[in-house]
Structure 1
Amino acid sequence: MAHSRWIRPEVYPLFAAMGVAVGICGFQLVRNICINPEVRVNKEGRAAGVLENFAEGQKYSEHALKKFVRNRRPEIMPSINSFFTDPQN
């Protein structure tokens, strides 16, 4: 009974949005800690100083999602956009 007073159905979308935001932040944090070439967690890596490893940096910045969307138009629904904007259809 007390639980229905604190958690109402109206706040479920807020919980979902906050969960997605926290998930994205957590993913980016883990990604940076694990594979970012500029982040060094262990002592040996920190003692190495500044490394000029351009190939590793290029590999990190050119990830699969960036390669996938590079030559695509920035549209969410291209078929609907072309239907309403193309006079030939």
Structure 2
Amino acid sequence: MASPTLKRWLRPEVYPLFAAVGVAVGICGLQLVRNICINPEVRVSKETRAQGVLENFAEGEKYAEHGLRKFVRKRAPEIMPSINSFFTNPKS
């Protein structure tokens, strides 16, 4: 027999909410892991923290200009370009 709390929150209507929150938590987790693992300004080990301020501009440029940013930069800022062009350029 399920408790009243489970009956309230585990309904099919609540599943999209759980999915949206799960995706948001996943994105935050991936960003945290990305920052800890490859961000040149984050130093986790004691040896690298002792180095102080690094002037490694090439590594910072590599981190900031990742593949997704390069891909999106060449695209038009539209979500659905075919639908946008259909409604903005009607064929007379």
TM-score for both structures, normalised by structure 1: 0.93
After TM superposition, list the pairs within 5 Å mapping 1:1-89 onto structure 2: 1-2=1-2, 5-6=7-8, 7-88=10-91
- Matched residue SS, 1:2: coil
Offset, 1:81: 0.5
Distance 1:58 1:87 in 2: 43
Offset, 1:88: 4.0
* One-letter amino acid of the counterpart of residue 31, structure 1: R
Structure 1: 5+ residue stretches without partners: none
Offset, 1:70: 0.6
Offset, 1:26: 0.2
Identity %: 79
**Where does structure 1 differ by over 2 angstroms across 4 or more consecutive aligned residues?**
none
Provide the aligned C-alpha RMSD in A. 1.5
